[in-house]
Each structure stands twice: as structure tokens, then as C-alpha cells.
């Protein structure tokens, strides 16, 4: 097994043909570097026709007092799962839906939703008639909730799995925020 493999969370942006504003999506991939993920990112968003850029990325190493590692796929897996939640919320008199992305490690979607409801974003981005929500349909009006392993590409899922070890301290991943042309990675 290659020890340098990491899970990456990448916010991709582009303005697909026929759209008036830039669109965004979140890509998760496994590789040694962001550059390794370029073919996967381009394949992930075919409508962009390769004209994507990166607005933010994170090498996912630490979540909820767990260390996150990539290992070769085994039959046995942990009851723990890494969940990705896309929270949506509003501010009074602002013509916008704001989003906040959360990663959490739990055993169930219900626990993941409970953790998301404890976030400052969930508590403060909403008002009467326009409450914060998690986009999808899991009781709270969840915008999006997925386990990372279910949204990784099929070829990656067949080779690798995520492994979690408890940490004695709360470590935070470095966030890389700002516009990055994918041509700079080539």
C-alpha cells in the first residue's frame, strides 16, 4: 500500500454553457497530491468540458477527534462512517442561499444530522419562514448528506477504504481557500 495516499475534498467551480452564474460542486478523491486528482475531477464534471477551477480544497486528515487514513480495501470495515453534509441557510433581506460544508464521523445518518444541528451555521443562518436546513430528506429537511465512501468514484471504492483512529486531541485540517486554475497543477 502507498502510504502517501490521502483523501481530498475539493470545491470545484465553473460556468457551464447556458448558465448565468458560476456553479460549484464538491469532489472527493484519493491520491498523493491534488495534481493526481486532475483526471478524476475532469471526469467528475463532464458538463464543464474541462473548464473547471478550484475554489477551495482540503486534505482530509482529521475529523471529530479522529485521524482519517486511506488503506487498501479489506472485507471488514468499521461501523464508523465519514459523512459529508451540505447545510443551506438564509439571512434576512439577502437574496442568497448560503451553504456550509461539514464532515463528521459517526455510525449513522441520524447522528451526522444531530452533529450538524449543533454547528454555529445551523443555529445562526436562518430566520422565521426560512430556517436553516440540511438539503435532502432526512427529517430535518437535509440539503445533502452522503457517506464519503458512497460518493467516491467506483474505481477508487474498489481499491481503497477509509480508516479512522481516535485522537487524544482535536486537530484541524488546513483549508486552502482561493481561486486556482487547474492549468497551474499540470
Share of the chain above pLDDT 90, in %: 59
Residues 8 and 95 in one domain: no
Residues 105 and 148 in one domain: yes
Residue whose cell numbers read 495516499 = 5
User: Which position has the higher pLDDT, 96 or 61?
Assistant: 61
Residues 175 and 96 in one domain: no
Residues 122 and 135 in one domain: yes
The answer to whether residue 166 sits within a structural domain is: no
- The Cα–Cα gap between 122 and 183 comes to 36
Residues 71 and 154 in one domain: yes
- The Cα–Cα gap between 180 and 162 comes to 27
Q: Which three cell numbers, joined as nine digits, stand for 1?
A: 500500500
The answer to whether residue 165 sits within a structural domain is: no
Residue of 181, 146, 175, 152 whose CA lies nearest to 13: 181
Which residues on adjacent β-strands are paired with residue 83? 104, 147
Domain of 33, in residue numbers: 1-61+171-185
The answer to whether residue 144 sits within a structural domain is: yes
pLDDT at 143: 62
Element spanning 121, H or E: helix 120-124
Residues 2-44 pLDDT 10s: 569 999 999 999 998 888 999 999 999 999 999 999 999 999 9
The answer to whether residue 17 sits within a structural domain is: yes
User: Which position has the higher pLDDT, 53 or 92?
Assistant: 53
Residues 54 and 68 in one domain: no
User: Which position has the higher pLDDT, 17 or 65?
Assistant: 65
CATH number, domain of 25, equals: 3.10.20.10
Residues 39 and 79 in one domain: no
Residues 97 and 152 in one domain: yes
The answer to whether residue 89 sits within a structural domain is: yes
Residues 108 and 57 in one domain: no
**CA-CA-CA-CA dihedral for 148, 149, 153, 156, to nearest 10:** 120
Residues 53 and 96 in one domain: no
Assign 94 to helix, strand or coil. coil
Residues 147 and 74 in one domain: yes
Q: How many domains does the chain have?
A: 2
Amino acid at each position: 500500500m502507498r502510504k502517501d495516499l490521502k483523501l481530498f475534498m475539493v470545491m470545484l467551480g465553473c460556468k457551464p454553457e447556458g448558465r448565468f452564474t458560476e456553479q460549484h460542486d464538491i469532489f472527493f478523491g484519493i491520491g498523493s497530491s491534488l495534481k493526481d486528482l486532475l483526471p478524476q475531477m475532469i471526469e467528475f464534471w463532464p458538463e464543464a468540458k474541462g473548464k473547471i477551477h478550484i475554489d477551495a480544497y482540503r486534505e482530509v486528515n482529521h475529523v471529530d477527534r479522529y485521524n482519517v487514513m486511506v488503506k487498501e480495501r479489506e472485507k471488514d470495515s468499521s461501523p464508523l462512517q465519514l459523512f459529508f453534509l451540505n447545510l443551506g441557510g438564509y439571512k434576512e433581506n439577502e437574496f442568497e442561499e448560503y451553504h456550509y460544508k461539514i464532515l463528521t464521523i459517526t455510525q449513522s445518518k441520524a447522528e451526522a444530522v444531530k452533529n450538524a444541528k449543533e454547528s454555529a451555521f445551523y443555529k445562526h443562518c436562518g430566520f422565521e419562514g426560512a430556517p436553516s436546513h440540511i438539503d435532502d430528506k432526512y427529517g430535518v429537511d437535509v440539503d445533502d448528506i452522503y457517506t464519503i465512501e458512497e460518493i467516491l468514484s467506483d474505481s477508487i471504492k474498489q481499491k481503497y477504504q477509509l480508516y479512522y483512529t481516535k485522537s487524544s486531541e482535536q486537530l484541524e485540517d488546513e483549508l486552502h481557500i482561493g481561486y486556482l486554475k487547474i492549468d497551474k497543477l499540470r
